[in-house]
Amino acid sequence: MIHAWEELAARIRRAGPRRQDLGLTLLVQLAVTMPFVVPRSAEAPPADWASYAMTTLGVLPLVWRRRAPLAVLTAILLAGGVYKLAVDGPGQPMPYAGLIAFYTVALQCTARVRLAVGGLTVLTVALSVSRNTGTARELLFTLFVSGAAYALGRLQHTRQAYTAALLDRAAQLERANRIEAEQAAARERARIAREMHDILSHAVSIMIVQAEAGPVAVRRAPERAEAAFEAIAETGRDAMAQLRTMLGVLRTDEAAPRSPQPGVRELAGLLERVRGSGPAVSYERTGSVRSLPAALEATVHRVVQEALTNVVKHAGASAVSVRLEYGDRELTVTVTDDGRGPGTGSSVPQARSGGHGLIGIRERAAAHGGTARSGPGPDGTGFEVRVVLVTSGAEVGS
């Protein structure tokens, strides 16, 4: 039974305002028709068509109650007055149309209009009661019923305003969630782009350097040629493994192996590959050396990798130093080479002073609350990348 009423209420809500008002008007018309069809005493006024037509005229304006509530109430009151003064028909048990029109005025009209209508309604009720029974009982009952209609209208107005506020809030939250999801997707795309750039740029740079050195080594030192080609193969295998790991994380149709991101421990292999491409690489760790969160260690590895990639591609350096300084709350990563510094010749491309690689380094540093700086080395020659990362809260280790 409860389900049937809920289904009926849902259908009424889906019907739309015009159909709802038409249905309400027909329902009220049915109610005011009852005194004309039920048996009456012989002393009761006759139920003729003229009085029924006037009763119908007092109901029909309800069809337009939402569009012109004040005009509808006025028309209904006028029709009721004419009915009382000019037509001697059967009385109505309740002024249904007038109460609904008064409710609509309380629901939709401004405070000034409601105040004026309220005063007019009290006056109309008093005149109507005085022409009918003239008793205080009828006056109080009629005023109570009218006040209840007004109160229901104001309560419905509050409910609609509250519902509109909730819907607006829900729409705002939906927009905020959509924007946040789009921003998260953009951040993830940027992160994947940085990872792909770092992996491929480093691997391809090392392979190109080794491949260019290979023919020379074949002619002058065949034993070094084998090492060069082995370095190319090792670099390619490492790049493929890292790319497989990254692409596996993006798959949703199958469970892919989730190898950890390279960290500080993997720097030794990275530096060894760079040494094989030409420059001498030194590595030093100072301060309270400790283990770091995986994401932070991955950032350290990628920062060093990108800095060394720039050295191999652009610097023409004979030596490069990598230094990790562990402070109480910070880790400073410094990569310095003795090659061509920025602005020392046309062969130094833009990447040495702000290309995608250095932009990626700055973005990685900012993601951990740190900073990144790049420019000439301490003595004004070469090139230096210096990144400071916040490490507060990391577990201290050996």
Percentage, residues of the chain above pLDDT 70: 74
Q: State the sign of the Cα–Cα–Cα–Cα dihedral 71, 76, 82, 84.
A: negative
Residue 124: inside a domain, yes or no?
Answer: yes
DSSP β-ladder status, 383-390 and 371-375: antiparallel
In sequence order, the 6+-apart residues with CB closer than 8 A to the CB of 396 are 288, 290
Asked, for residue 110, whether it belongs to a domain, the answer is yes
| pLDDT, position 395 | 46
Chosen domain end from 101, 134, 167 = 134
The Cα-based distances of 138 to 87, 94, 126, 174 in angstroms read 21, 12, 10, 53
Please indicate whether residue 188 or residue 98 has the higher confidence score (pLDDT): 98
pLDDT at 165 over 80: yes
And the tokens for 147? Answer: 């006040």
Whether 264 is covered by a domain: the verdict is no
**Per-residue pLDDT band at 364 (split at 50, 70, 90):** confident
Minimum mean pLDDT among 18-27, 47-56, 71-80: which range?
47-56
**Residue written as token pair 């782009």:** 193
pLDDT at site 248:
64
Name the residue range of residue 286's domain.
279-398
CA distances from 201 to 123, 274, 296, 320 (A): 89, 13, 21, 18
Do 243 and 204 meet the contact criterion of CB atoms below 8 Å apart? Answer: no
Structural domains of the chain, count = 2
Using H for helix, E for strand and C for coil, what is the string for 79-137? HHHHHHHHCCCCCCCCCHHHHHHHHHHHHHCCHHHHHHHHHHHHHHHHHHHHHCCCCHH
From 8-12, 61-65, 78-82, 138-142, the region with the lowest mean pLDDT: 8-12
151 vs 203: which has the higher pLDDT = 151
Q: What is the CATH number of the domain that holds 364?
A: 3.30.565.10
In a domain, 174, yes or no: no
**7 burial via Cβ count (<10 Å: 0-12, 13-18, 19+):** exposed
Question: Domain for residue 391, yes or no?
Answer: yes
In the block, which residue shows the tokens 């020659």? Answer: 381
**Of 17 and 9, the one with more pLDDT:** 17
pLDDT for the residue 315: 73
Banded pLDDT at 181 (limits 50, 70, 90): confident
Quote the pLDDT of residue 256.
43
* Confidence at residue 345, expressed as pLDDT on a 0 to 100 scale: 42
Is the pLDDT at 151 greater than 70? The verdict is yes
Residue 373 forms beta bridges with which residues?
A: 386
> pLDDT digits over 286-341, tens only?
988 888 888 888 889 889 988 888 887 777 788 899 999 999 889 999 999 988 77
Domain presence at residue 287:
yes
Task: Give the pLDDT band (50/70/90) at residue 259.
Answer: low
Given a contact cutoff of 8 angstroms between Cβ atoms, the answer to whether 354 and 345 are in contact is: no
> What pLDDT does 216 receive?
61
pLDDT of residue 356 exceeding 70: no
Instruction: Tell me if 181 is assigned to some domain.
Output: no
Given 134, 149, 169, the domain boundary residue is 134
State which of 76, 107, 134 marks the end of a domain.
134
Residue 37's pLDDT band, with cuts at 50, 70 and 90, is confident
In a domain, 32, yes or no: yes
Burial 182-207 (b: 16+ CB within 10 A, else e): eeeeeeeeeeeebbebbbebbbebbb
DSSP E strand stretches across the chain: 280-287, 319-326, 330-337, 371-375, 383-390
- Whether 47 has a pLDDT exceeding 80, the answer reads no
3-state secondary structure 13-39: HHHCHHHHHHHHHHHHHHHHHHHHHCC
